[in-house]
Amino acid sequence: MKAARVFQLTALALLVVSVVQVGWWLLDQRAYTVEKVRLAREAYAQQTAAAQALLDSGASSARVQQLLPGIVVSSGRATLAPELERSLTTEEHRRYNQYAWEGSFFLLALAACIAVIARALREEARVHEEQDSFLALVAHQFKTPLASLQLSLETLALRAPAPQAARTLIDRMLADLARMELMVTQILESARLERGRVEFKSEPLQLAGAVARVLAQLEDRARQEHIAISSDIDPRLHVLSDPLALDVVVRNVLENALTAVQGAGGGTIALSARARDGEVELSVRDSGVGFAPTDGARLFEKFTRLPGAGGRYGTGLGLFIVRRLMELAQGRVSAHSDGVGRGASLRLTWQAAAVAAVAPQPAIAPEPRP
């Protein structure tokens, strides 16, 4: 990496030197031509003066023209032959034209090379910067659960709490560990997505089935947090996506909604889907903490935490991964909220798969939720 950079910088320096060289060459050639033309004109002027002197001393016109072929004599006056003057001017213009064309061509070619290398250098610097800030953010994200873990452990060691309080501390520590594990998974997932190193199959999948599978995993958590989830999805709706990606998208979106509702002390999540214009749209509405209406797009950026939003236990990567996976599925995702404390809705849109082409899938029927 370093050797390549040295090479690029050296090439850049050489190109800049070449630009200076070409510029200098152009100026030098121009000065040379000016000087040549001046000397030629001077020589012609001397010839004309000499011819005039011969004429004045009584030499015949024929004799003068024989001695000085570039001179024309008419009514006793010696002048330079017009074709000589013309050819001199023509030659002068031809040379200037040549310098202009050749010079511009070389300068343009050099400028193009400089632009290409500068662009590569800038791009490299940007990638470096992004990697650095990603690392800084990742490190920062880990420090909070680590601090919480350390605090719980040191509290246990310092205070020897009663069994009930100790249990609370242990649960807290387990949750912190789970959070760190989730972060590792999501960081790896997002890193792979960023580098485009994912095999993305696109096949018809039953949306209701994917939602039911994820709901079955989150059921306990929802019950504990007093969150009622309702799902109304036509089992005939099928989308084009990668099976793993579909599960990750639905899981991340639902976990996000759960956290948002948990932040509001409980509430509801409603899932519904419909087909429209060759697309299938899944809507996830929650009665959670919501966010400022202008923050809708920022939710899908890496490590976004919004004030009052449900990002408290999150890694800031869940919805970023959702966006990237939806892009790979050639779908869309958007979020909307009327404001902090007023719930939110997420809308996911996939390309619809023709139902007839779909092989029957074992779907877990969504159970009624509390």
Partner 1 sequence: VSTAAPARVLVVEDDPHLAAGVTENLRAEGYEVSTAADGEQALAWLAAHSCALVVLDVMLPGVDGFAVCRTLRGRGDSTPVLFLTARGDPADRVHGLEAGGDDYLAKPFHLQEFLLRVRAILRRWDWYRSASATAATAVLSFGGNEVDFRAFRARTWSGETQELTEKEAMILKVLAEHSGEIVSREDLLERVWGYDVFPSTRTVDNFILRLRKRFERDPANPRHFLTVWGVGYRFLREGEP
Among 122, 126, 143, 201, contact with partner 1 (rule: CB under 8 A): 143
Among 29, 144, 185, 268, contact with partner 1 (rule: CB under 8 A): 144
**145 binding partner 1? (CB under 8 A):** yes
Our CB check for partner 1 shows the closer of 235 and 296 to be 296
Our CB check for partner 1 shows the closer of 291 and 350 to be 291
Among 78, 149, 240, 333, contact with partner 1 (rule: CB under 8 A): 149
**357 binding partner 1? (CB under 8 A):** no
Stretch touching partner 1 by CB under 8 A, among 55-63, 168-176, 318-326, 343-351 = 168-176
**290 binding partner 1? (CB under 8 A):** no
Instruction: Give, as ranges, the residues between 306 and 325 that touch partner 1 (CB under 8 A).
Output: 306-309, 311-313
Lookup: tokens for 313: 């236990």
Q: Are 27 and 99 in contact (CB under 8 A)?
A: no
Q: What whole-number distance in Å separates Cα of residue 330 and Cα of residue 351?
A: 7
Q: What whole-number distance in Å separates Cα of residue 336 and Cα of residue 106?
A: 55
Q: What whole-number distance in Å separates Cα of residue 353 and Cα of residue 247?
A: 17
Our CB check for partner 1 shows the closer of 48 and 259 to be 259
Minimum distance from residue 127 beta carbon to partner 1 (Å) = 23
Buried b (16+ CB within 10 A) or exposed e, 31-48: eebeeeeeeeeeebeebb
Q: What whole-number distance in Å separates Cα of residue 252 and Cα of residue 323?
A: 10
3-class SS letters over 290-352: CCCHHHCCHHHCCCCCCCCCCCCCCCCCHHHHHHHHHHHCCCEEEEECCCCCCCEEEEEEEEE
Q: Are 44 and 70 in contact (CB under 8 A)?
A: yes
Which 8-state DSSP code applies to residue 366? P
**147 binding partner 1? (CB under 8 A):** yes
**182 binding partner 1? (CB under 8 A):** no
**223 binding partner 1? (CB under 8 A):** no
**221 binding partner 1? (CB under 8 A):** no
Which residues in this chain contact partner 1 in the complex, by CB under 8 A?
139-140, 143-152, 154-155, 158-159, 172, 175-176, 305-309, 311-313
